[in-house]
């Protein structure tokens, strides 16, 4: 089944639920017969952007590369679900400008809840000085200026958040009938 491609860009603090939600939404889109690709920060940093660190310049280059890939896929009829901290409004605006059908999903979650969910112990390591430039601890995260969808994962279940995102995609005319 052919459908219009788009990029659903999930942004939020580490451990806010970006990957979990992108995965469950991707599953629902596949059930609708859509071509779907997932781009996830942890996976992309092991391949496409493994040469980059976490300075502001490197973070921006990471998102520029991912934006290029998402743009190519989405203009060829693929629903791209990208889950990246992408902490700066300026780079998210760049992605919006580059990708024709770009939908920004803000995965809003309190820092306290993100720390509770952190099974890898990254927040604790950052607070202990073992990890430098960790977003939410010693590196900033700018709340999005103009998200298209906001879900609050510390107040909503995964199912509720997923349904809110799917409803918005339907309202935007991006889901098949």
Instruction: Determine the Cα–Cα distance for residues 172 and 107; give it in Å rounded to an integer.
Output: 19
Residue/partner pairs of 88-91 with CB below 8 Å, 24 or more apart = 88/56, 88/59, 88/60, 88/142, 89/142, 89/144, 89/145, 90/60, 91/59, 91/60, 91/63, 91/64
E strand intervals along the chain: 6-11, 36-40, 79-83, 102-108, 149-152
Q: Which one-letter DSSP state was computed for residue 144? A: P
Instruction: Determine the Cα–Cα distance for residues 131 and 47; give it in Å rounded to an integer.
Output: 21
Residue 86 annotated as catalytic: yes
Among 16, 86, 95, 161, the active-site one is 86
Contact 108, 151 (CB under 8 A): yes
Positions marked active-site: 86
């Amino acid at each position: 089944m052919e459908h219009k491609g788009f990029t659903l860009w999930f942004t939020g603090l580490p451990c806010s639920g970006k990957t979990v939600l992108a995965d469950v939404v991707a599953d629902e889109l596949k059930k609708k017969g859509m071509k779907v690709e997932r781009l996830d920060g942890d996976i992309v940093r092991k391949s496409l952007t493994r040469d980059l660190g976490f300075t502001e310049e490197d973070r921006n280059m990471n998102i520029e590369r991912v934006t290029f890939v998402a743009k190519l896929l989405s203009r060829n009829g693929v629903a791209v679900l990208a889950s990246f901290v992408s902490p700066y409004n300026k780079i998210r605006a760049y992605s919006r400008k580059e990708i024709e059908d770009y939908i920004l999903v803000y995965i809003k979650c309190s820092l306290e809840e993100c720390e509770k969910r952190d099974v890898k112990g990254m927040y604790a390591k950052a607070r202990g000085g073992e990890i430098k430039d960790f977003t939410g601890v010693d590196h900033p995260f700018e709340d999005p200026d103009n998200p298209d969808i906001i879900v609050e994962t510390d107040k909503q279940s995964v199912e509720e958040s997923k349904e809110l995102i799917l409803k918005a995609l339907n309202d935007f005319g991006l889901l098949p009938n």
